Amino acid sequence: MALSLRPLWLGVAGLVGFGALLELVPRLGVVDDRFLPPTSRILSVLAEQAGAGPLWSAVGNTVLTWAIGLALAVAAAVVLGVVIGSVRFLRAATASTIEFLRPIPSVAWIPAALVLYGPVRAGTLLIVVYAAFWQMLVQVLHGVADVDPVARDTAYSYRLGRWARVRWLTWPTALPYAVTGLRLAATVALILTVTGELFIGGPGLGAEILRASAGGAVPLTYALVLVTGLLGVAANLLFRLVERRALAWHPAVRGEVPA
Amino acid sequence: MTKLPGWQGLQRVALVLGLPAVLVVVWWFASADSDHLVFRPLSEILVAFRETWLGPRLVEDVLPSLSRLARGYAASVVLGVGLGVLVGWSRTLRALLEPVLELLRAIPPPALIPLIGLFAGLGDSRRIVIIIAGCVWPILLNTVEGVRAVDEVLADTCRSYRVRGLTRLRQLVLRSASPQIMTGARQALAIGIILMVISELRGTVHGIGFSVEQFQTSFRYPEMWSGVLLLGLLGVALALLFRLADSWILGWYHGLRASNRER
């Protein structure tokens, strides 16, 4: 028991040490504290903000944009992925197009988003959906293509209908891939949400960071950046949990739990 | 049915080129008579592409952007792999630093731009630092994972044969971790292109991102779309380049996997 707790304590010590280092560097004058305020000042600004409304409404707005974008991207990718993935001809015919469209950097659409929607949430959603869609689509395609040939032949022998095949054959095969895709897409979508709020528009943490830094409120800028990081960590933990829940039956997950 | 020789090859070419060709043709004809202010005809965009990017801008905007990307990316690889080997090799150091690294990685890199601006002024170095701040994390964390997963038997064998120092680092640690490192490097490349563009959006006077933003704010839409097209082509070209590098560096690994699958 003591052994398994050790990494946890070390991790906490690491975080505290990192905070202490960032406290000392400006205090000792290594770096100008106008550029890097001590940790205590950043945390006190954060605590002050946590008691007020605007921070939470910014967090809420970012989470909302992120969730809408992720939901749109995932829904589109799952439908298209299952259709394309289960028809051999479609898979072969679309492969080159997908390989071409996927590496187009999502930020290439920033000017287009500004022209088409203006500095509002919809513009940010455009780049969020674009970036998250490909992460998910590629995973779903891999998953659908991975159906075990014996299982597929068995399903045909038992004359499972189209719907039953999707439910009992494609779904469980593709699920692990899809869940991984979901986690990757969620991470990318969060990055692009904040990016969009910074460079396109719409309410949220990105907009607040821009306002704080333009107003010269350096400790507040740091505090807000810290909040985006915490949001990212929370999202990552959440989707790891989803992964474990959704795949509790899967040998890779079951094997992690000692019987 | 008798098949002509090359029939299958022809079929494959048709499958690869078919849909893209159809899409381009549809785009060409659907946009041909467009008098919409924003959605310009493809022919106009292509002319704008040639006039904009194959002229002096190639040297003034495209190459400086790519050079910053290359320098930032190279620094990220060196930093990420170097630190990753150190952190991955020591269990204590790993436990100590993992939460800090997870937190730093979770910060969306563009959010750091206002902060980096405080330190690094407005020059080239600022934009390179922005690229590094985003690219280094996937390489670092994947290297840590790769180094951690070094095969125990191989490690013991190296110990028995007293393989130490640089030989051990090169032949055991880096080699076992290389597939994982390449995964990190691939993710970092995609992030790097994004940050190359974003780092040029505010407060610069040249670069691809700057040019595209300038076209957008001055309503020169054919030029703007040609910039979007250029970024797309660059993304695809760099992805292809990476795939070549991957098959060269990890050729042994892919071969090993393929032969393991056949057995």
What is the Cα–Cα distance from A165 to A155, expressed in whole angstroms?
7
What is the Cα–Cα distance from B33 to B251, expressed in whole angstroms?
50
pLDDT of residue A77: 93
pLDDT of residue A249: 78
Distances in Å between the Cα of A131 and the Cα atoms of A98, A108, A124, A226, B38 are: 13, 11, 11, 23, 23
What is the Cα–Cα distance from B221 to B38, expressed in whole angstroms?
6
What is the Cα–Cα distance from B247 to A123, expressed in whole angstroms?
38
Tokens describing residue A1: 């028991």
Closest CA to B125 of B58, B72, B82: B72
Tokens describing residue B132: 């590094």
Report chain B's terminal Cα–Cα distance, integer Å.
34
Distances in Å between the Cα of A209 and the Cα atoms of A46, A62, B184, B254 are: 13, 12, 28, 44
Tokens describing residue B207: 């670069």
What is the Cα–Cα distance from B86 to A121, expressed in whole angstroms?
43
Output b/e per residue, B171-196; b: 16+ Cβ within 10 A.
Answer: ebbbebbbbbbbbbbbbbbbbbbbbb
pLDDT of residue B79 exceeding 90, the answer is: yes
Domains parsed from chain A with CATH numbers: 45-252 (1.10.3720.10)
User: What residues 17-56 of chain B have any CB closer than 8 A to a CB of chain A?
Assistant: 17-20, 23, 38
- Listed by start position, the domains of chain B span 41-250
User: How close A128 gets to chain B, by Cα (Å)?
Assistant: 13
Do the Cβ atoms of A144 and A87 come closer than 8 Å?
no
pLDDT tens digits for range B235-258? 888 888 988 988 888 888 888 877
Do the Cβ atoms of A203 and A58 come closer than 8 Å?
yes
Closest CA to A108 of B122, B123, B212: B212
What is the Cα–Cα distance from A54 to A220, expressed in whole angstroms?
12
Do the Cβ atoms of A179 and A243 come closer than 8 Å?
yes
Selected residue with higher pLDDT from B34 and A115: A115
Q: Does B13 touch chain A (CB under 8 A)?
A: no
pLDDT of residue A73: 94
Q: Does A24 touch chain B (CB under 8 A)?
A: no
Q: Does A228 touch chain B (CB under 8 A)?
A: yes
CB contact under 8 A, B97 and A218: no
Do the Cβ atoms of A223 and A45 come closer than 8 Å?
yes
User: How close B228 gets to chain A, by Cα (Å)?
Assistant: 5
Alpha helical stretches, state H, A170-217: 171-199, 205-214
Do the Cβ atoms of B129 and B73 come closer than 8 Å?
no
Mean model confidence pLDDT for chain B: 83
pLDDT < 70 stretches in chain A: 1-5, 251-259
CA B129 to chain centroid? 16
Q: Please, what sign has the CA dihedral across residues A151, A153, A157, A158? A: positive
Distances in Å between the Cα of A63 and the Cα atoms of A46, A130, A133, A250 are: 19, 17, 18, 30
pLDDT of residue B72 exceeding 90, the answer is: yes
Mutate to test the interface with A, among B198, B231, B234, B243 (most CBs of A within 10 A): B231
Q: Does A58 touch chain B (CB under 8 A)?
A: no
- Predicted-complex ipTM score: 0.79
Q: How many CB atoms lie within 10 A of CB B49?
A: 18
pLDDT of residue A132: 92
- Maximum pairwise Cα distance, chain B: 76
- From the list B111, B209, B215, the residue facing A194 with the nearest CB is B111
Q: Does B112 touch chain A (CB under 8 A)?
A: yes
pLDDT of residue B93: 86
pLDDT tens digits for range B172-189? 788 888 888 888 898 899
pLDDT average, residue stretch B78-93: 89
Q: Please, what sign has the CA dihedral across residues A231, A232, A235, A237? A: negative
pLDDT of residue A1: 41
Q: Does A92 touch chain B (CB under 8 A)?
A: yes
pLDDT of residue A259: 38
Output b/e per residue, A83-122; b: 16+ Cβ within 10 A.
Answer: ebbbeeeebbbbeebbebbbbbbbbbbbbbbbbebebebb
Tokens describing residue A124: 């940010």
pLDDT of residue A257: 47
Closest CA to B209 of A110, A169, A85: A110
> Scanning every residue of chain A, which has its alpha carbon at the shortest distance from the alpha carbon of B229?
A108
pLDDT tens digits for range B116-134? 877 766 678 888 988 998 8
Q: Which residue has the tokens 């999202």?
A: A235
The number of C-alpha atoms within 13 Å of A29 and in the hemisphere containing its C-beta is: 0
pLDDT of residue A254: 61
CATH architecture observed for domain B41-250? Orthogonal Bundle (1.10)
pLDDT of residue B203: 65
Q: How many CB atoms lie within 10 A of CB B9?
A: 9
pLDDT of residue B65 exceeding 50, the answer is: yes
